[in-house]
Structure 1
């Protein structure tokens, strides 16, 4: 499959999820703990996921100077001030020709709103570059500006549509129809689950940090997407253990994969909490409901069994216990 065809399909899926609105209760931000560096699952002491961001940094000069010709310069400067990991990803992907498919250049507000799709897709482009990823064998993941997972074994797997029987509610129906029920998408293995999880999660901070400029609904499901993709990952692990014990044994023996799963769980908790005050702009009414199901005892049990680490279930969900 060509890179261009794949990109268009991903864009279609992401855009299909970007419309919707609603409000949920706003949570207070959780104080950040020490940064999780390197390989978290092997760390002896508890740790917390963290990364720099400053959603209050002044962008008035960038907004005033914005044109369709300086959008990449603006993107990098905007994230340098508010989310340095986004700046570094933009620099790493600056020469990618597919940016133009994703970026709205008509106004600064439209530009900010389009970042959910743009950063989502450029995360895919970085992660799935053939120099880093061998399909269904090993993957890469851009986690943040100082941490990227490389050569993470996935050992094949089973079609992700097999998790559908474990979804008992309608909270994620729109994404289920795209990623699980679609004939092509539903056949993707663990790599598909992890790739979509990472791209969807990276799209959340991209709009969280520019929330005040977003006037439309193009980013209104960012929190829902992050929560749903974590749901898929946890359910995939449960099906692996229950229905594919040989595969479960293989992936459970891969330290890099166990570490990545733990990091992504804590990172999702971190950005869902950071973005909670902006629900209605970067999240729909179901994001917190989906998150609650992710913390069901059976999901926490599979996470802790797979990673070998306990996670906190209090106000510091971005931390291990």
Structure 2
């Protein structure tokens, strides 16, 4: 992945005036270089030998080998989480096809397990995020926040209605603050590539909302920023002045664009047509405006949506 940190350098240069004994100050602003989110994947790498040897007892070595060839970030996450006792709740082992299909949920949930480990995350205070094999964001301040259900009035359609019912209208989930928003988006952004790179083996409906999950959770983040700015100015000021959080938000926006583009040919198997409609709403002027104000960066809206200008 090419990665460029946001740079903003203002240098005041004293330039001698033609009039002796005087000087003028010239301010030069250096723009940050474009930043594109990318990560290695080889979705056509041969895994037929792994499929042929697959059994219910060798699923973890198969998982690691499969992603080593097709999506190294998935392999790296599986290695660091290999001893987690909860894998068995998420992985289907009755066939290789069922196994591949279950990776959306398995990798999603194991991302939660890594991100929300108390050794890394203090709920509502700071969070961690497994981005990919080369990058894990640690101790990202959150400054608490406000219940995410406050974004509901900004959702004017029913495109994300099923997830809105779980994450926003539910009595418990609706009261989660920014921690809940960032955690669900990050898990959605590992669950999506986990099945995108093995899509030819997916025969059922177990991964059929992977694209919707990513698009919807980005929607929640953008709307959360809008509500913060409009209704919680003190909180907005805190988070807008937090470099780690600004960088995470920018990366997640570009990362969502990256994997939605990679998975677009598999709409139907990995998502509904509503995912693209939600994505279109995420690029509405009011959402791009709050993203730009928060991050200080302008994202591209052409074929390279995974990049800043």
For normalisation by structure 1, the TM-score amounts to 0.88
Residue 297 of structure 2 corresponds to which residue in structure 1?
309
The yes-or-no answer on 1:228 pairing with 2:195 is no
Residue 136 of structure 1 corresponds to which residue in structure 2?
124
Residue 145 of structure 1 corresponds to which residue in structure 2?
133
Residue 153 of structure 2 corresponds to which residue in structure 1?
165
Report SS of the residue matched to 2:129: strand
Matches for 1:1-321 after TM superposition, within 5 Å: 35-36=2-3, 39-40=5-6, 44-321=32-309
Alpha-carbon offset, residue 156 of structure 1: 0.2
Report SS of the residue matched to 2:190: helix
Distance 1:304 1:261, change over 3 A: same
Q: Which has the higher strand share?
A: 2
Q: Distance in 2 between matches of 1:227 and 1:263?
A: 14
Q: Distance in 1 between matches of 2:210 and 2:285?
A: 25
Q: Distance in 2 between matches of 1:169 and 1:271?
A: 24
Alpha-carbon offset, residue 47 of structure 1: 1.7
Q: Distance in 2 between matches of 1:47 and 1:176?
A: 31
Could you tell me which runs of 5 or more consecutive residues in structure 2 were left unpaired when the two chains were aligned.
9-30
Could you tell me which runs of 5 or more consecutive residues in structure 1 were left unpaired when the two chains were aligned.
1-33
Alpha-carbon offset, residue 41 of structure 1: 6.7
Q: Deviations over 1:229-274 (max 9, x none)?
A: 0000000000000000000000001000000000000000000000
Q: Distance in 2 between matches of 1:58 and 1:227?
A: 30
Alpha-carbon offset, residue 281 of structure 1: 1.1
Report SS of the residue matched to 2:139: strand
Alpha-carbon offset, residue 40 of structure 1: 4.7
For normalisation by structure 2, the TM-score amounts to 0.91
Retained in 2: the 8 A contact 1:54–1:83? Answer: yes
Alpha-carbon offset, residue 36 of structure 1: 2.0
Alpha-carbon offset, residue 190 of structure 1: 0.3
Q: What's the Cα RMSD here?
A: 1.0
Q: Distance in 2 between matches of 1:283 and 1:193?
A: 20
